[in-house]
Amino acid sequence: MQTDKHFVIVTGMSGAGKTQASKVLEDMGYFCVDNLPSPLISRFADLIVTSEGNINKVCLVVDLRDGSFLDSIDDALAYLHAIGIHYEIIFLDASDEVLVRRFKESRRSHPQSPAGSLLTGIQLEREALAYLRDRAQTIIDTSNLTNADLRQTLIDTLTSEDTGIQVMVTSFGFKHGIPIDADIVMDVRFMANPYYVPELRQLTGRDPAVQSYIYDRPETQRFLRHFSDLILELLPEYIKEGKNQLSIGIGCTGGQHRSIAMAIALGRRVAEQGYEVTVNHRDH
């Protein structure tokens, strides 16, 4: 049994932007319900399916405000699948530092904070939501996103005509931290570092001279061949599991030379096989 109904489950960390996401989806024509208790999701789905109205797109914002959320969300999602409703989970996340700053700026207390300990509350919530984060088809790190950026990211995610998977390759520097939304992280610090070549130090991995320095080495070519083959072998399996977005982080020390060059090379190879690829350079 299949219906023409589409449910988007928006969840994630408190302070990561769920309210703003709900507003965006409402503008996109979704019927939005915030904080619906998860035991009621199945009843709500029945009403949507059997009603004679034209509500085909639904957004449910769910999180730990519902005390029974974690105990019953699996049953609710299984029921959606059983009655033929296609659903996807969008998980909004942000770094602990950003969440602390947002709560302090808003002067709100964290819903999970014991005795007012903000950081402890954030960490408890992150641990509790780890299982659902792993189930999400899309994870959006809002740490560095404006409201306009979040809007465009959601629009791109939900209106893509591609029925496959979107691949995002992000270069970064380990000294600035690992991207928290990365599904796969590869460390390329084993490669010779152009930073120690005076004429290359002020350039980046976008520059042909730096790329030649990195690409022309046999170990680089071996790595690129094996790593791109692995990614291309995994992508069809991710698609089978219903994942519509794969985020790959490629890191070097500062995120200026090796990671940028390798992100560009990997993105090119994956795109050559017909996949939709976006390459970003976080720390440059």
pLDDT digits (tens, 9 = 90+) for 243-258: 878 999 999 999 999 9
Task: Give the integer Cα–Cα distance in Å for 276 and 161.
Answer: 11
Q: Name the H helices within the chain.
A: 18-27, 41-50, 69-82, 96-106, 118-135, 147-159, 208-215, 218-240, 258-272
Task: Give the integer Cα–Cα distance in Å for 131 and 146.
Answer: 27
Instruction: Give the chain's end-to-end CA distance (angstroms, integer).
Output: 49
Which residue(s) pair with 248 in the sheet? 169, 184
Task: Give the integer Cα–Cα distance in Å for 205 and 153.
Answer: 26
Task: Determine the average pLDDT of the residues in 33-57.
Answer: 84
Q: How confident is the model at residue 191 (pLDDT cuts 50, 70, 90)?
A: very high
Task: Give the integer Cα–Cα distance in Å for 131 and 233.
Answer: 25
Task: Determine the average pLDDT of the residues in 166-188.
Answer: 94
Task: Give the integer Cα–Cα distance in Å for 117 and 38.
Answer: 27
Does residue 197 surpass a pLDDT of 80? yes
Task: Determine the average pLDDT of the residues in 90-101.
Answer: 92
Distances (CA, A) of 267 to 145, 206, 227: 22, 13, 12
pLDDT recorded at residue 21: 93
* One-letter amino acid for residue 128 of the chain: A
Strands 166-173 vs 245-252: parallel, antiparallel or unpaired: parallel
17-26, 148-157, 186-195, 225-234, range with the lowest pLDDT: 148-157
pLDDT recorded at residue 9: 94
Q: How confident is the model at residue 29 (pLDDT cuts 50, 70, 90)?
A: confident
For residue 200, give the nearest of 218, 212, 184 by alpha carbon: 212
Task: Give the integer Cα–Cα distance in Å for 167 and 195.
Answer: 28
pLDDT recorded at residue 141: 93
pLDDT recorded at residue 67: 66
The model's pLDDT over 207-223, given as tens digits with 9 standing for 90+, comes to: 999 999 999 999 999 99
Kindly report the average pLDDT of the chain as a whole number.
88
DSSP tag of 232: H
Distances (CA, A) of 106 to 109, 123, 148, 244: 9, 19, 19, 33
Task: Give the integer Cα–Cα distance in Å for 255 and 262.
Answer: 11
For residue 261, give the nearest of 188, 185, 168, 177 by alpha carbon: 188
Distances (CA, A) of 145 to 94, 171, 181: 10, 17, 13
